[in-house]
Structure 1
């Protein structure tokens, strides 16, 4: 407080003017505004003030009757331009609108440059297209059919590009069993043309791929130009392996698309077109498995019915043997009975003769009669022996015949009758599986064994 009791007040002043931008801030904001407002533009005009410093970049202006705009085309883009433009040329450029902040210059960063009108690259494209078409290289009749099931796929593209990644991703999803060989090549720039031709020749000489995918990802007309070169087109047309062109995006069209055996809109679509879907295979396999199982069940049922029918008709060989033995016994009894009857008859006759002899009594006649009787007895004995020998030979022959047809004789030669656990006769190796228990009837006794392996191949 002062001597008068008042409190002193200090006066202060605040700057209320708007904040001023720095020149750098202004240019930066202007550049951001331009670049966000204009994505890509095509501009046509007359070239003026063209310069080529040692950096390799191009600087020039495009003008019309009233205005002009500054342009910069950096070395990474202008190296694809075939003919260097000259003062006064009418040009079409594609690029991004921006601001060169250091000087505050409004300019266009040029990415593609071509003569106004149709354009040099497009003119070259149309000229080569008409030339090759006239030669018949686009004729559908000369195009080769792609294999329905490729055994090996060849891919001609850059090893670092997106195309090879897309192709391998699709193939891994659809049919990972198909092997893939990459024939690496440049797919952009001046060296790409010869590189692609060499890759096609390498795939041809390698001889493993039965279909080739040739392509790359999207890009400008200049980026894709190597696929519009005549050398590449003729290499694709002359390749003995079916080829698929997969260059760029769906809207991109190249000469390679016309000469290839098939054109795919993208590399991923190419992999889709040439590869079968393993899910379809799995379904077909499952359907075939079901049909095979049903057919096997029907065949087994028919076989079982046929086996039962044959088993009913098949006679037991032991029964046949018993019948033959019984018949032999019957013949033997009949033979013995015949002999006895014959001897009894002869004995009766002998007694009758003795009676007649006794009645006649002459000794000489008796002696002749005795002689006659001895001869008759000798003849009878010989006849009996002969008959017995014939009967015995017939009996032995019948026994031998019976022994030949007997399964016991077959078993005696080293064969066996093999039955499974259900006592069914096994005729083929395919009727048993490893681990099954089988019974083998041999000449003297039975054997029980377990199957360790089955070989059903013919010898």
Structure 2
């Protein structure tokens, strides 16, 4: 019971969490929860931490190493599992959680949906109507059994018949009762019994098992074969709590194969039957009492705080810190890696090697361009030289000499352009187009 605070005595947070934890653990001794695995963490301690969720809610869970080592598999994100757990509270954070003791994979959801869908379909067609069910023979003359020849069902049936009515003839129509081929074999066995025409009633069934094991008796082809059988059919599939499609379609359902044999065999030992009923009730009562005492013992043990419980709480806190440290380290490493990548990119943009590559490329371009520019410059100068040479040639005295004229030079080397510049007997030099002449002036004739 949680203590109510008064005006003079208020609860501390630790005390409140401790009392809430005690209340939760005493109220939920052992429960089963089904859900989808999320946020699965497996630190070095070997403990498992995860979240169970469905479409509307979620709850945190912890499964310590000594418990998860017995699981036989490591769950993955998205797995649907069934856990057996007790409700507790992680005092350090005030979060309620499940301490899981057992875990198993859950594949029953899809099978249950398929079961419900086929049940609704056949019910709509009227295959479950009591009006179409046939009465069983009061005293069967020949019993047919459709089941596995090596299973417990045929053994239980024969044992009951031997005890109650050993003289009843029995024909076994062997078939597989679980697996992919079981449904078609069951249909073939029912058809064979109808073609033989020896039996006046059939038992179709098998012993107990999981929903997956009993699934062939929930197949549509088996249900339709039972409904179409000309021989009345008693369905005896699994245990008393197991309800199959075959049970709903058959003319009569028996809780077990043994119960089917009890139902069809004549009752010679009513007193023994009554005694067996009382024995079963006593066993059930004793089992109930034992289970109640076991829960009381478990509650008493949980009220005693074991030192290991505090150790587990500290280990859980340490594991959580380890997970946070790992995540923080990874986040910091990623930030530093991103920063290094950015700096490296910036360095690459300003590195001297890159500038040298740019200048080297420009130099190569200039080296390729320089010969063309020099050649073009030489061509322009050559053209200008030719043009100037032509102009010079047109006014050059040498051009006149080529036409047969000559230039007279006095001893001073000056050109003589008038007869008055020389005297008779004076020696002159005549420059021709090719070569020179030395001349003497014999006479002078002044010009006009």
| TM-score bracket, shorter-length normalisation | 0.3 to 0.5
Q: Which has the higher contact order (CA 8 A, sep 6+)?
A: 2
